[in-house]
Chains A and B, each alone.
Chain A
Amino acid sequence: MSEDKKSRWSRRDLLKGIASVPIVGSVWWAGASKGVNNTQARDSILKTLNINASPPPPSGPMVGDPIRIGIIGFGIRGPQLCRALGFGQKSWLESMAEAAKKNPKDTRLSSFLAQEHLNIHITAVCDLFDVRAQDAIDSFSTDDVKVQRFRTHQELVESNVVDAVVIATPDHWHAPIAIAALQAGKHVYVEKPMTHNIKETYALKDAVEASNVVFQVGHQHRQTQSFLTAQDVVKKNILGHVSLIQANTNRNDDNGAWQYPIHEKANPNTIDWKQFIGNAPMVPFNSEHFFRWRKWWAYGSGLSGDLMSHDYDRVNCILKMGIPNSVVASGGIYTHKDGRNVPDVMQVNMEFPDFSTGSSQLEGKEKGMTMVYSATLGNQYGRTTAFMGHDATMEVGNSLTIYADGNSTKFKEKLVSEEMDPNVPIYQYDPASGSVDGVTSATAKYFADKGLLWTYRDGKRVDSTHLHVREWLSCIRNGGTPSCNIKEGFEEAMTSHMGGLSYKLGRRIDWDQAKQEIVPVKGYDLDEALLEDKEKIV
């Protein structure tokens, strides 16, 4: 090869130099086409769906004089509600600081400290266990505001040191205390289930309607962004006719099975046993009954009242379907044969034959819906809450995911053109990314499913319970009706009682819509049956 040839570009040199340029062009074209197609498909689907979250329940400024709050019941949920109000127990603050030190990803303390100040004072506590009452006094008293202990709820609600009460007692005390507070003119926030039996459900409804104070039941998911989004999904009839809803409880640990620790200082001298029993049958002092009251119908409401009430209200806040026409339940004590008399496995079928979320088919073809609640305290496999419609299925938790149905009428064209794939979500709200996505991958779904307990407001992560108590306080200050008021509480309580009764009596329980009552069952006093051990009901 001559020197001349070496120093000039030969055709071969030129080819070797620019041969990869067409590859660049091809790869660019392929990537751009795919990217543009994805974007167009996403935009087209989002435009078709046009989903916007419903506005959150109105909640105004926390201005004016501090609201004085009395805490009735300071066991497990009581301290949680106090944190939602902005008051952390000393022991909790210390343990959270320790946890954050050990694990920087543990943001429980920083989230609590970042919570909005609600301009309230905790001025009173009523707990029947001396240790817990003293804990509240020691934790929440300040130089200006001393927390006062009352031995009975009656004394607390009638005192002039509280404007409002938070009730987090065992279930059998919810209604008696709420009614006493309402009659004393005090605002009420009561934990779920709203009542323990049928009779007191009517009594509490009457008391709320006769009062001019603010009443809220503790179903905090009503504040969660995914549920607000789900309301719009249903309003826009994206799911088509929903014929089946499945909601579930799966827990497989002591805490989940209500096997709470028993305090070492628990004894007849530190616990007001007689008052704890209240309207339940008197039994000798039993610390297990006091600390693990959810295991007995005399004080708690079993799976149907304790946990199904949450799931029912999660669905009711989206669909507003009200009380089912009938309920059939079954179950048993299959995992925790520890002396409890509430079931640890339970299935409740709720029928709504006249209800419809809408239709995309011939008018009159579709009507009626079943909600299935399925629970076990012996397994923790995560089953989703699913709204199953003719056109789409919606999974709702802290995230929200919608899949088109392969045989949808509404989305037929998009399914045929493969713009929609029944196996790929057509919509997803993911609190982790704070954004929505039209077409998401399996990976994105995996991440989205992780969210729990929190929701987002203005891009900031917030405790849903904090928002729920804030809404209650806002209504006290600025007027308005809370999102889980007596109508919603009445529906939740009656449905829960129907579930409990069906399990106890082993038969279908019907609701008379006209009379607004559970249809009597010959030979049974339903209230007595509700509180009695299933085995003792003849």
Chain B
Amino acid sequence: MTTDINLSRTGRNSLILLRLFIGWHFLYEGVLKLYNPAWTSKAYLSSAELLSPFFQWLASDGMIHLVDNLNIFGLMVVGLSLLLGYFERVGSIFGICLLLMYYLAHPALPGASQAGTEGSYWIINKNLIEAAALYVLYQLPTGAYFGLHSLKKNLLTPQTK
């Protein structure tokens, strides 16, 4: 897939770099959790202040196993799609959804506790910035230039000889 916006080679390469970095981050988080069975998001979810009934439900004994597995699966799928440049737009949307969930559980709103975060934030935090960057990648996919998608493009191109 290509974009209608004309990008210079430098601009395109910048987007590819951004895509690889975010994919790297997601995949590493997912794989680390996959190989660390003691990890759980229970404490993070159950301490949510905004929308706490929803997050408490996610953190409940009946749900937490499924939620943890979906989170790991989601992180890895997003990471793989961005790194490999394949279904990256779908990956970007999934990534945005995950990041918004993390944000809503512990938003950087005035008065809300900022447990376990480094740095200082007011409304905008790193989760939101990463989500915004994923939105850019959704709008400007680069898999056709660097990634598996470019092979698919060529495969589908009719052979002239």
Contacts and interface: CB of A to CB of B under 8 A. Distances in A.
Indicate whether A and B interact: yes
Contacts, number: 119
B37 A39 contact: yes
B147 A20 contact: yes
Nearest to A444: B43
Main SS class of interface, B: helix
B52 A104 contact: yes
Nearest to A447: B43
B101 to A, nearest CB: 17
With most chain A CB atoms within 10 A of its CB, the pick from B32, B34, B79, B151 is B32
B20 to A, nearest CB: 6
Nearest to B40: A433
Given A17-B150, A18-B151, A446-B116, A105 B32 contact: no
B87 interface: no
B50 to A, nearest CB: 11
Interface stretch (A28-36, A89-97, A175-183, A508-516): A28-36
Contact of A27 (B46, B79, B157, B161): B79
Interface residues of B, number: 44
Contacts of B111: none
Interface string A417-444: 0000000000000101111011001111
A14 interface: yes
Contacts of A21: 84
Contact of B35 (A6, A35, A105, A446): A35
Contacts of A105: 52
Interface stretch (B23-31, B120-128, B132-140): B23-31
Interface in A1-27: 3-4, 6-9, 13-14, 16-21, 23-24, 27
B46 A432 contact: yes
Nearest to B161: A4
A311 B161 CA distance: 88
A40 to B, nearest CB: 10
B95 interface: no
Nearest to B151: A17
A459 B42 CA distance: 14
A38 B34 CA distance: 12
B89 interface: no
Contacts of B79: 27
Nearest to A20: B83
Contacts of A19: 146
A117 interface: no
A532 B122 CA distance: 56
Interface string A489-523: 00000000000000000000000000000000000
B85 interface: yes
Contacts of B154: 7-9, 13
A67 to B, nearest CB: 33
B38 A39 contact: yes
Contacts of A438: 38
Contacts of B84: 20-21, 24
Given A4-B160, A17-B147, A433-B40, A27 B33 contact: no
A31 B28 CA distance: 5
Given A27-B31, A32-B35, A435-B40, A7 B160 contact: yes
A459 B59 CA distance: 13
A443 B35 CA distance: 20
Contacts of B148: 17-18
Contacts of B116: 441-443, 446
A132 interface: no
With most chain A CB atoms within 10 A of its CB, the pick from B27, B38, B145, B150 is B38
B36 A38 contact: yes
B150 A34 contact: no
> Interface size class for chain A?
35 or more
B27 A31 contact: yes
A257 B151 CA distance: 74
Given A20-B83, A435-B40, A14 B35 contact: no
B36 A20 contact: no
Contact of B36 (A6, A39, A442, A447): A39
A446 B118 CA distance: 14
A248 B127 CA distance: 39
Nearest to B159: A7
A10 B160 CA distance: 15
Nearest to A24: B83
Contacts of A434: 42, 61
B34 A35 contact: yes
Contacts of B42: 432-435
A446 B20 contact: no
Contacts of B83: 20, 23-24, 27
B70 to A, nearest CB: 18
Contact of A23 (B20, B38, B44): B20
B78 interface: no
A450 interface: yes
A398 to B, nearest CB: 14
A438 B37 CA distance: 12
Interface in B45-66: 46-47, 52-53, 61
Given A20-B146, A24-B27, A30-B28, A35 B151 contact: no
A42 interface: yes
Interface of A: 3-4, 6-9, 13-14, 16-21, 23-24, 27-28, 30-32, 34-36, 38-39, 42, 104-105, 430, 432-435, 437-438, 441-444, 446-448, 450, 459
17 contacts: A4-B160, A14-B151, A17-B149, A18-B151, A20-B20, A20-B83, A20-B84, A24-B84, A27-B28, A31-B31, A32-B35, A35-B31, A38-B36, A39-B37, A432-B46, A432-B47, A441-B116
User: 5 tightest A-B contacts by CB?
Assistant: A35-B35, A31-B31, A443-B116, A17-B151, A35-B36
Given A32-B32, A39-B38, 16 more contacts: A6-B157, A7-B159, A16-B147, A17-B147, A18-B148, A24-B80, A31-B35, A32-B35, A35-B34, A39-B36, A430-B43, A432-B47, A433-B40, A433-B43, A435-B38, A443-B43
